[in-house]
Amino acid sequence: DTGVSQDPRHKITKRGQNVTFRCDPISEHNRLYWYRQTLGQGPEFLTYFQNEAQLEKSRLLSDRFSAERPKGSFSTLEIQRTEQGDSAMYLCASSPRPTSLSETQYFGPGTRLLVL
């Protein structure tokens, strides 16, 4: 399977705990995105990497959130001191280096987080 993969697929945690999610993009895709999707809503942009550089962060990404892509391949998203409002689906997407105005983003299956 050469698609975008995410791990874990589901995570249940207690309020105040830290959680970390992993995303493996499609091989050779140099761009990687994180989105958050709450029930009944479309995905909302969180952050974006080009290779290992984090180029943009949304205001949604509070100080409790941190994302890394240390070698320009897989990425991790960590949430510290989780709150019930963090419960959502966390989606990862990747896209190749643009050769036109815009390239398609390919999405992973997501990690569904439930904070009790």
Q: How far is the CB of 79 from other proteins (least distance, A)?
A: 20
- Measured from the CB atom, the residue of 74 and 106 that comes closer to other proteins is 106
- Measured from the CB atom, the residue of 7 and 103 that comes closer to other proteins is 103
- Measured from the CB atom, the residue of 42 and 70 that comes closer to other proteins is 42
DSSP letter string over 22-52?
Answer: EEE--TT--EEEEEEE-TTS--EEEEEEETT
Residues that bind other proteins (CB under 8 A): 3-4, 31, 33, 35, 40-45, 48, 55-56, 58, 91, 95, 98, 101-110
Q: How far is CA 100 from CA 39, 49, 97, in A?
A: 33, 18, 9
Q: How far is the CB of 17 from other proteins (least distance, A)?
A: 25
- Measured from the CB atom, the residue of 35 and 86 that comes closer to other proteins is 35
Q: How far is the CB of 42 from other proteins (least distance, A)?
A: 3
The secondary structure of the chain in percent helix, strand, coil, rounded to multiples of 5, reads 5, 50, 50
Q: How far is the CB of 53 from other proteins (least distance, A)?
A: 13
Residue 48, both tokens: 């974006």
